[in-house]
Amino acid sequence: MLQVAFIRENKDLVIKRLEKRNIDASQMIADVLTFDEERRGIQTQLDNTLAESNTLSKEIGNLYKSGKAQEANALKEKTSQLKETSKELTEALNAKAEALNELLYKIPNVPNEIVPSGNSDEDNEVVFEAGEVPTLSKEALPHWELAKKYDIIDFELGNKITGAGFPVYKGKGARLQRALIAYFLDKNTEAGYKEYQLPHLVNEASGFGTGQLPDKEGQMYHVTGDNLYLIPTGEVPGTNIFRDVVLNEADLPIGITGYTPCFRREAGSYGAHVRGLNRLHQFDKVEIIRVEHPKNSYDALTGMVEHVKSILNELKLPYRILRLCGGDLGFTSALTYDFEVFSTAQDRWLEISSVSNFETFQANRLKLRFKNSEGKNELAHTLNGSSLALPRVLAGILENYQTENGIEIPEVLQPYTGFKILN
């Protein structure tokens, strides 16, 4: 969440930047500042009450030592009153702090100055495009038909076992899926990211730490008996490694990667655009996460974008990069670049990665800090990106690499698959 001190010192900037999200935040910001002023007022009263109580306690001790028990007893009655007052003030302070946090949880991150204004994904800016869209024959099929033809993904079987959006990968389809995971992890570790195997369920504190709660609660599968959540992305358990941690400045930067299945309810998603692998309730993803010094985080974001580009260049898939507009920007992000691969058989772009800088927004919730050169604790910046989400990458490979003889496997994946063509 946003820091109150930042809001207090940059009130007009915060309101203006949030307008890029099509939000009039003036009343919310006014309420935050009012609650903060009231909270600080109660804190001052509490500090004065505790100071007075401590002073009286010392005075009472001295009076007893001097044999002035009657005067000491008279003051003890006053200390009892001060203790009761301090208890009431502490309760009022906690209630006010909780109310302030409830307000802050509702305010999204402030967009970076280069985020374009806009209402929806139609207003996102294309900043890069690469690769050639292959020319397919008239008999070319969309990936869900190819999956059926070559018996590599069974959507109906997944529907039988669980429900829609839970596909079953079979034979060479399962092998190709595993190959992609291994390839992505190898590319990430070669780039300096440390590999982790992470839990697939998280507690409520982890959901709040990275901003999925309360913003995306309706999109998450909730295990009510244990109050745990199935992860919607590896970003959640990965970033929460650093919750309540104070790092040394020399520890930065930190980069981690991990493979996880991801689970999203995707409530309200219907229609032809969600066919096949286009939108699933369970899917595989390899994530990259960085913890950075604030002065270096945007250079790190550029590096992450270049890293994902290098993977797609090796896969030789046609893709483009979008800078998300304010209306399409995620709740926690200050700046996001989306990668989209072109689905030739569907004649449309499919999102395969988001790379984002959250600045201090997540770190403030996580209490993720580092001790700077002056010896003071400072909030770190967090970043994450998909490297990569598998379903639409797989869809792109199946559709763009299809031939009359079968589906050719990208050269870079062949050492992982053990076969050159899927037929």
In this prediction, residue 1 carries a pLDDT of: 92
Output Rg (C-alpha) for the chain, integer angstroms: 27
Q: Say if residue 112 carries a ligand binding annotation.
A: no
Mean pLDDT taken over the chain: 94
Q: 156-167, pLDDT tens digit by residue?
A: 999 999 999 999
- In the predicted structure, residue 418 carries a pLDDT above the cut 90: yes
Q: Which helix (H) or strand (E) holds 237?
A: helix 235-239
Phi first, then psi, for residue 382 (nearest 5°) are -115, 145
Provide DSSP, 182-222. Answer: HHHHHHHHHTTPEE----SEEEHHHHHHHT-TTTTGGGS-E
Query: What mean pLDDT do residues 243-262 have?
Result: 98
CA distances from 239 to 96, 202, 374 (A): 29, 12, 26
Instruction: Mention every residue, 6+ apart, whose C-beta is less than 8 A from residue 2.
Output: 14, 104, 107, 109, 110, 361, 364
Between 269 and 255, name the one with better pLDDT: 255
pLDDT band of residue 254 (cuts 50, 70, 90) is very high
Provide DSSP, 315-369. Answer: HT--EEEEEPPGGGS-TT-SEEEEEEEEETTTTEEEEEEEEEEEETHHHHHHT-E
Q: Say if residue 354 carries a ligand binding annotation.
A: yes
Residue 149 tokens, joined? 């033809």
In this prediction, residue 269 carries a pLDDT of: 52
Q: Say if residue 353 carries a ligand binding annotation.
A: yes
Between 18 and 216, name the one with better pLDDT: 18
Query: What mean pLDDT do residues 121-127 have?
Result: 96
Distance of CA 394 to the CA centre of its chain: 23
Q: How many CB atoms lie within 10 A of CB 159?
A: 14
End-to-end CA distance of the chain: 50
Q: Say if residue 85 carries a ligand binding annotation.
A: no
Provide DSSP, 52-97. Answer: HHHHHHHHHHHHHHTT-HHHHHHHHHHHHHHHHHHHHHHHHHHHHH
Q: 63-109, pLDDT tens digit by residue?
A: 777 877 777 777 777 888 888 999 999 999 999 999 999 999 999 99
Percent of the chain exceeding pLDDT 90 equals: 84
- In the predicted structure, residue 401 carries a pLDDT above the cut 90: yes
Q: 288-306, pLDDT tens digit by residue?
A: 999 999 999 999 999 999 9
Q: Say if residue 264 carries a ligand binding annotation.
A: yes
Q: For tokens 């390839």, name the residue.
A: 183
Q: Look up residue 304 and give its amino acid.
A: M
From the list 223, 143, 183, 148, the residue with the least C-alpha distance to 310 is 183
pLDDT band of residue 317 (cuts 50, 70, 90) is very high
- In the predicted structure, residue 171 carries a pLDDT above the cut 90: yes
In this prediction, residue 22 carries a pLDDT of: 96
- In the predicted structure, residue 268 carries a pLDDT above the cut 60: no
Query: What mean pLDDT do residues 218-228 have?
Result: 94
In this prediction, residue 74 carries a pLDDT of: 73
In this prediction, residue 271 carries a pLDDT of: 53
- In the predicted structure, residue 360 carries a pLDDT above the cut 90: yes
Angle (nearest 5°) at CA 287 between 191 and 198: 110
Q: Say if residue 352 carries a ligand binding annotation.
A: yes
Q: Say if residue 233 carries a ligand binding annotation.
A: yes
Residue 418 tokens, joined? 């053990």
pLDDT band of residue 267 (cuts 50, 70, 90) is low
Q: Give CA–CA dist 270/290, Å, rounded.
A: 34
pTM of the model: 0.91
Q: Give CA–CA dist 201/182, Å, rounded.
A: 22
Q: Give CA–CA dist 221/100, Å, rounded.
A: 28
CB 390 within 8 A of CB 173: no
Q: 323-354, pLDDT tens digit by residue?
A: 999 999 999 999 999 999 999 888 899 999 99
Which has the minimum average pLDDT: 2-11, 50-59, 328-337? 50-59
Percent of the chain exceeding pLDDT 70 equals: 98
Q: Give CA–CA dist 144/395, Å, rounded.
A: 8
- In the predicted structure, residue 208 carries a pLDDT above the cut 90: yes
Between 319 and 346, name the one with better pLDDT: 319
CA distances from 85 to 53, 104, 186, 216 (A): 10, 28, 61, 40
CB 390 within 8 A of CB 180: yes
In this prediction, residue 73 carries a pLDDT of: 74
- In the predicted structure, residue 205 carries a pLDDT above the cut 90: yes
Query: What mean pLDDT do residues 366-380 have?
Result: 96
Q: Give CA–CA dist 274/179, Å, rounded.
A: 24
In this prediction, residue 266 carries a pLDDT of: 75
Q: Say if residue 17 carries a ligand binding annotation.
A: no
Q: For tokens 């689905």, name the residue.
A: 343
